[in-house]
């Protein structure tokens, strides 16, 4: 029989202190553990509740995706996920018929992307209040009861792709107000109660596409006031309450196309007063309340075609005189194209507006009359 030397005796008080220190060390973040497998998909409330038991006792890091797919079944709370602090890839919460909040994710501090889609009873996302940026992708789509996204107010830094679409009760996106810098894509579509874009004031540059479509009560886009350049496309379509584009005054260049279509209340484009060039097509079409184009007086280059069509109240197009006259403004080109205009690379299409805006000749004549009358008034004074 082997005899082990037990060493000197330790007093009882010190033994208790030693045991306590060992316990604290075991519970510290230094002992954090990865959950298994790499990507975890939860389909039922029971799987949510048993998360720690099934995927690693004490685990706090998902090394792939965390997917919560309700498919209309029984997931109603996320309390079983309260130990999770990090998700390396994305959190996807999809089609949960009974989930009203994201309580249970309060300890989540970092994630690459979040997708919240088709959760009809989801009222708030305050459970994400400790989440910090930067973040790659954020999609908040078709959550009918969601009124705000204030739970994201601690997100800072940049975001790559943002989609806020089809949330019929969403009143504001102020929860994004700490995001800043460059974004690849922004889609804000079909949010019937959204009135402004104030949460986007920190965004300065869009690399690919900005889509603002079918937001029925949106009347204020001054939250876009930081944007200076879009290296892709801008589409502002079917926002029935939008009366002006104030907020885009800092925008100087659009590298793709610029479409402004079917905004029934849009009266003015003055918010585009800083715009100098569009590197693809310009389309202004079916804006029933638009009466003039004075906001485009700085525009001196459209690489492709220019379309001004079916704006039934549009009677003053002298705002585009620098674009369509015979003077080659700024750098040479991009024309003359088929329309023979130095500053338009392809063609100019004018149709179904008021008569003064249905031909280049009519616009040039209108401008000449305006200029002559102005000169006579000055001379008379």
Per-residue confidence (pLDDT) for residue 372, from 0 to 100: 52
Per-residue confidence (pLDDT) for residue 5, from 0 to 100: 37
The chain-wide mean pLDDT, for the chain, equals 89
Nearest to 262 by CA among 291, 295, 239: 239
Tokens of 55: 């995927």
Tell me the mean pLDDT in the region 276-283: 96
Per-residue confidence (pLDDT) for residue 330, from 0 to 100: 73
Answer yes or no: is pLDDT of 6 > 60: no
Given pLDDT bands bounded at 50, 70 and 90, which one contains residue 27?
A: very low
Per-residue confidence (pLDDT) for residue 331, from 0 to 100: 78
Q: What percentage of the chain reaches a pLDDT higher than 90? A: 82
Q: What percentage of the chain reaches a pLDDT higher than 70? A: 88
Q: Do 98 and 122 meet the contact criterion of CB atoms below 8 Å apart? A: no
Measured between alpha carbons, how far is 363 from 356 in angstroms, rounded to an integer?
6
pLDDT digit string, tens, across residues 212-225: 999 999 999 999 99
Per-residue confidence (pLDDT) for residue 379, from 0 to 100: 46
Q: Do 43 and 67 meet the contact criterion of CB atoms below 8 Å apart? A: no
Beta-bridged to residue 111, according to DSSP, are 87
Measured between alpha carbons, how far is 107 from 122 in angstroms, rounded to an integer?
19
pLDDT digit string, tens, across residues 303-362: 999 999 999 999 999 999 999 999 998 777 798 989 899 999 999 999 999 999 999 999
Tell me the mean pLDDT in the region 11-19: 40
Nearest to 138 by CA among 170, 175, 168, 181: 175
Measured between alpha carbons, how far is 80 from 57 in angstroms, rounded to an integer?
12
pLDDT digit string, tens, across residues 88-145: 999 999 999 999 999 999 999 999 999 999 999 999 999 999 999 789 999 999 999 9
Tell me yes or no: is domain 31-179 CATH 1.20.140. Answer: no
The three-state secondary structure class of 188 is strand
The residue extents of the domains of the chain are: 31-179
Q: How far is CA 325 from the centre of its chain?
A: 37
Instruction: Output phi, psi for 141, to 5 deg.
Output: -135, 130
- Got the DSSP string for 193-249? T--B-GGGTTEEEEEEEEEEE--TT--B-GGGTT--EESSEEEEE--TT----TT-T
Q: Do 181 and 206 meet the contact criterion of CB atoms below 8 Å apart? A: no
Q: Do 275 and 254 meet the contact criterion of CB atoms below 8 Å apart? A: yes
Beta-bridged to residue 282, according to DSSP, are 258, 306
Answer yes or no: is pLDDT of 71 > 60: yes
Tokens of 358: 């249905």
Instruction: Output phi, psi for 197, to 5 deg.
Output: -120, 35
Tokens of 208: 């690919």
**Half-sphere exposure (Cβ direction) of 63: Cα atoms closer than 13 Å:** 10
- Got the DSSP string for 118-153? S-TT----GGGTT--S-EEEEEEE--TT----GGGT
Measured between alpha carbons, how far is 261 from 102 in angstroms, rounded to an integer?
37
**Half-sphere exposure (Cβ direction) of 346: Cα atoms closer than 13 Å:** 11
On the question of a cis peptide bond just before residue 381, with omega within 30 degrees of 0, the verdict is no
Residue 298 sits at the vertex; the CA angle it makes with 240 and 324, to the nearest 5 degrees, is 90
């Amino acid at each position: 029989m082997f005899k082990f030397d037990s060493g000197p005796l330790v007093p009882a008080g010190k033994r208790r202190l030693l045991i306590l220190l060992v316990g604290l060390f075991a519970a510290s973040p230094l002992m954090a553990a990865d959950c298994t497998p790499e990507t975890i998909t939860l389909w039922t409330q029971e799987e949510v509740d048993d998360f720690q038991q099934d995927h690693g006792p004490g685990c706090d890091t998902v090394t792939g995706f965390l997917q919560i797919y309700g498919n209309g079944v029984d997931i109603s709370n996320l309390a079983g996920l309260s130990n999770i602090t990090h998700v390396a890839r994305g959190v996807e919460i999809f089609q949960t018929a009974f989930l009203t909040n994201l309580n249970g994710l309060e300890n989540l501090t970092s994630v690459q992307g979040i997708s919240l889609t088709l959760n009809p009873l989801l009222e708030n996302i305050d459970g994400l209040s400790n989440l910090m940026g930067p973040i790659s992708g954020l999609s908040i789509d078709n959550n009918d009861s969601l009124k705000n996204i204030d739970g994201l107010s601690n997100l800072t830094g940049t975001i790559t792709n943002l989609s806020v679409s089809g949330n019929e009760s969403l009143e504001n996106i102020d929860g994004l107000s700490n995001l800043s810098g460059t974004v690849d894509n922004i889609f804000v579509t079909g949010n019937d109660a959204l009135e402004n874009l104030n949460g986007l004031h920190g965004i300065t540059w869009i690399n690919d596409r900005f889509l603002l479509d079918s937001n029925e009560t949106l009347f204020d886009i001054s939250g876009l006031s930081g944007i200076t350049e879009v290296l892709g496309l801008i589409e502002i379509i079917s926002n029935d309450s939008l009366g002006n584009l104030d907020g885009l005054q800092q925008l100087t260049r659009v590298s793709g196309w610029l479409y402004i279509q079917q905004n029934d209340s849009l009266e003015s484009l003055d918010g585009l007063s800083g715009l100098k060039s569009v590197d693809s097509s310009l389309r202004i079409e079916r804006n029933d309340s638009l009466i003039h184009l004075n906001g485009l007086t700085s525009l001196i280059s459209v690489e492709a075609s220019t379309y001004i069509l079916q704006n039934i109240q549009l009677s003053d197009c002298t705002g585009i005189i620098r674009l369509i006259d015979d003077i080659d403004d700024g750098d040479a080109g991009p024309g003359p194209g088929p329309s023979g205009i130095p500053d338009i690379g392809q063609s100019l299409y004018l149709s179904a507006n008021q008569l003064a805006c249905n031909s280049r000749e009519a616009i040039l004549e209108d401008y000449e009359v305006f200029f002559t009358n102005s000169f006579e008034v000055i001379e008379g004074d």
